[in-house]
Structure 1
Amino acid sequence: MVRIGDLVAAHGSPPHSPPPPMVEGSAWYRVAGIAVSRREHKASCGHATTGRPWYRLSE
């Protein structure tokens, strides 16, 4: 599970340095008051998360 502000795994070519944080999250699903990111939400670099097929969060 990734929340707004969490750093994402290294990606891109060359990889982003430092790792970018998530900036988009669910409007209604929160953990400890922080919005949870789901598939297609974006990090500050503009790349979208890929998600996992076994975990779905739909709005």
Structure 2
Amino acid sequence: MNQVMKILTIVSTIFIPLTFIAGIYGMNFVHMPELEYKFSYLIIWILFIVLFIGMMLFFKRKKWF
């Protein structure tokens, strides 16, 4: 049971920030300065990937998996 809870914690910890960022940018805001930039979509995807890799490395160093 402890191993299952650890895996569920890792999965939720990785996906909660990504879901939050996607939720913010999925809303129909008119006055978001980031939406006017040419590379804002690319920057958000880079942020997603960096967050994902950073959390994976963090959990690897903690020897959670």
Q: Which has the higher contact order (CA 8 A, sep 6+)?
A: 2
Higher helix share: 2
TM score, norm. by length of structure 1: 0.24
Structure (1 or 2) with the larger CA radius of gyration: 2
TM score, norm. by length of structure 2: 0.23
Higher strand share: 1
